Structure 1
Amino acid sequence: MALTDITRVEIQKAMEEYDRLGREAFLARHGFRPARRYLLVHLGRRYDSKAIVRAAHGYLPGRRSLAAAEFSGGAQHAVALLRSLGFSVAQDPPEDALTHEQLVRRITELTVNRSAGRPALYKPITLLWAMGRALRGEPRLLDWTRTEQELATLLRRHGAHGERPRPDYPVASLCRDGMWTLPDHTGEVPTAHGDAGLRRWFAEHRPRGGPARPVHDLFRHSPVTRLAVLDGVLGTFFDGIDPAPLLADVGLQDPDGDPGEAAGPLPQQPDRWVVTAAEYERGCRLIEQREARLAGERDTRTTHRLKRSRAARYLVLRRSGGRCESPRCTGQPADTTDRRQPILEVDHVLDLALGGRDHPSQMVALCPNCHAVKTRGSTREELRGLLLRVAAERHRDMRPQAAPPRP
């Protein structure tokens, strides 16, 4: 065993494997249990430190991954190595650490008041406000005076189902859900019921608070997860409501009014239009989770089912590298949008109304000319078949490569 030979390169390869497989599969593959005390923190994501170091050893030339028993000193040696390489390691990690899939599932399955026959928007509005703050890099925790002021304004403007401007309701309820934290308060937070008692508790304690750290970290650092959360929140709670004014108020709406880019602007330089294999794979899992959720619903309203996935659009645009994906493209416009973005349109090769999937494997990025030919050109049927093959090939090529074999 030679831990000193491990560099940041091998650690990053192990983290990519962790992202590709997911935590449970990664730990099972390397024979480790979940970390009890130390987690490697990188770009807002958390990794089991000892398992990462073990896997990293297998990426050294001619070496294999290490068994748990082969660590002398165990986690302490792994932590020392990671810190010496410049990585951050958190001690006593929170038990409520979330995967990307768990976050989206928990948010779309939130329990909300439906006494009026429609879902109350208290908690969805609060989470979208927190997401916008995280995206802008604002502090996770905020004093109660500002929380109360900002949320009351949003609830007053966008509470389409009769919500009162009472931030204490969603904050108390989200605390009970494990999605919000009031770190300076000890003991239980009151339940989100009643009126005078709840209002009095928040008036007396005026707690500093914000989203739980794992929630904030995923909001902050993962564009495709933000978009998947938006897909879930808007599709679950805002059916029949135009979300654009709310998204603009919380900073999740594109300046040009396109909610497909609500997670922030795409890179301005063409050579930065990239998406890692791990991010692409994670985004596809989130999209497939959404597909399964919609397929399992008994709601027969077609308008709900035909809403486009922001996460899918994001992945296709990033996958394209800023260039039209049609092999027959004779040259996309040299001009750009006001935001210096390539002029591209994301197209469902097979229309959703005709059974196509809202999934990158059946979507392509096209310049306006190629999109017009595909839509109404005399060769559109032939081009449609070609683009289906292209979409499938681009999707396959973006999937992460198999990890090196383990002896």
Structure 2
Amino acid sequence: MPSFRNVLPEHVLQAVEILDRPEGAQLAQSLGYRAAREFRLVHKGKFYDSKPVVGVAYGVANNGEYLRNTQISGGDTGGAATILHNLGFWVDNGFLHGLKDLRVDSTHGKPAPYQYVVLLWALARARRREERLVPFSSVRDELADLLAPFAIARTRPDPSMPWAALSRNDWWELVGPDGATPINDVAVKHFDIAGGLDVGIYNTAQLDSFTKAAMEVIGGLVGVDERFADLVDRIGLSDLSGDPLIADANGDLVEDFQTSGGSAPSGRGTVMQDPVRRAAIERRSLDVALKYYDKIGGIDAVELGKPYDIKVTVNGIERHCEVKGSFYDHRHRHFDGQRSHSR
């Protein structure tokens, strides 16, 4: 199997750009790739089959020697999905793609964004480790306030409607008393039905890459404008929009100015931190750590994946190293007697 050690996040981004071109589909087909049903890379709210992305990224990093479909696996350990995940991207197994098929009501020809707003609100709660399932009455006023700017009719949105409608989606769980089925907005209010994210999605929301990908997909579905930017800020997800300064793959601080309509879930120009560049820095830190242990006689080094951990044996003792890339300062820290390598 080819080595992907020299494939970096920027190579993946270039591969996405190549595959986005009119001739991109023909290139993927000529290399033997077929449409995937799962393991799709999510980037700027769009979905890309992971295998051709990695195959083309390999070629970008290796003088145009693109990999064919038979030279790379998909979701297996060490396959395309794992490679992209370790580079800081989110690879969707179907949950995010399913958001595109969410059944929503329409008013005057406009699809209602209310279910998506509720999902973002729930993701924010999950990241704060707040209670997963909550009675509707305890959050009704908060949701009504968040939904109001997205009204597509003259009346204010009723939060009980998306609360109930989400029960048709794998993202959502409702818990009500016996006799509360079928669940609709009337039942939600009458029985004060508790609801929240599916437990798997609730736990996955702790991953920045997943929640940022969800924000981008939802932003693409409801429209990225001032209302969306304000929602993201109000529910506490603006930290995923980035910090004032970022560093490039060499560790040098740079400014990445995003204008309206860019990849950020914001309708305004802003200086942002790019998680792909974060991954590039952490990848470099990982290489530094591997060289360090090789220099001091370490053997059997194994990369354990995110968050860029290493298991290595030094002088007969197995050690565990947590590696973090640094954006602002370059220092070594120790965890339980082990060395943590920043840039």
Q: Which has the larger radius of gyration?
A: 1
**Could you say which TM-score interval applies, normalised by the shorter chain?**
0.3 to 0.5
TM-score where L is the length of structure 2: 0.47
Q: Please report the TM-score for the alignment, with normalisation by the length of structure 1.
A: 0.41
Query: Normalized per residue, which structure has more helix?
Result: 1
